[in-house]
Amino acid sequence: MPSLFIRALVPAALSGFLSCAAAQDAAVERAQYLWSQSPHGRMLERLLPPSIEPGQLPEPQSAGARLTARYCIQCHYLPNPQMHTPARWQPVVERMLWRMRGEGNMGALMKDMMAGVTAPGETEAATLVAYLRKHGQREIDPQHPALGTRSGQMFSIACSQCHALPDPQRHTAGEWPSVVQRMQQHMAWTNTVVGIPALRTNPELDTREIVRLLQRHARR
């Protein structure tokens, strides 16, 4: 499994690092090492879907982006700050800090997985949270008229499974189709059973109606 890891996974997740500064190279090498050595590699791979590379983080040169790239790839793919609302980031990061400090509740498994993981100090943690909150997702107004419709219901069920229900104003009508397509990949990724190919599932959600709804209420 470790070799599969290095070949199939690490290049995709971390290749963006290779063009970055030397300090980041060290962080990548470290993460690469951790992932390849972990007996729980398969599990680490499935915690968060692959989405962006460090160079694609908002304000990639900022302290917050550098801390995110340094600490948040130790156990899973790099998280996108736009995934969660500012309010949601606070408890998520607290949960992650808890783990990085070795206080997680998964007993021996976590201890194993934690070997070699480093945790940010108080100041760094505050910078991290402030950065993620600044670039967070914007939630739709719960009174938004679109939510009363049938397609609005579909949108709210399908699109609030992993994060807050997004504000249609966040993107233009031209941008929404590719965002929703990416989300469909995340959904397929989440639902793919690891193991025997015959057992793998890829439920299809017909997103055409959702895209049309988002486009009707999109940013102009």
Residues that bind ligand HEC (CB under 6 A): 47-49, 51, 71-72, 74-76, 79-80, 82-83, 92-93, 95-96, 99-100, 114, 117, 128, 137, 158-159, 161-163, 166, 170, 179-180, 182-183, 186-187, 190, 207, 210
For residue 22, the minimal CB distance to ligand HEC (Å) is 22
Supply the Cα-derived Rg of the chain in whole angstroms.
Answer: 19
For residue 51, the minimal CB distance to ligand HEC (Å) is 3
Rounded Cα–Cα distance for residues 43 and 5 (Å):
11
For residue 78, the minimal CB distance to ligand HEC (Å) is 9
For residue 100, the minimal CB distance to ligand HEC (Å) is 5
CA angle 52, 157, 85 (to 5 degrees): 45
Rounded Cα–Cα distance for residues 90 and 25 (Å):
28
Quick one: 24 or 207, whose CB is closer to ligand HEC? 207
Quick one: 19 or 172, whose CB is closer to ligand HEC? 172
Rounded Cα–Cα distance for residues 218 and 144 (Å):
12
Rounded Cα–Cα distance for residues 118 and 207 (Å):
40
For residue 202, the minimal CB distance to ligand HEC (Å) is 13
For residue 122, the minimal CB distance to ligand HEC (Å) is 13
Do the beta carbons of residue 58 and residue 86 sit within 8 Å?
no
- How far CA 20 is from CA of 27, 97, 183, in Å, comes to 11, 25, 28
Query: Alpha-carbon torsion 67, 70, 76, 82, what sign?
Result: positive
Quick one: 76 or 133, whose CB is closer to ligand HEC? 76
Question: Per this entry, what is the length of the chain?
Answer: 220
Quick one: 6 or 46, whose CB is closer to ligand HEC? 46
Quick one: 57 or 75, whose CB is closer to ligand HEC? 75
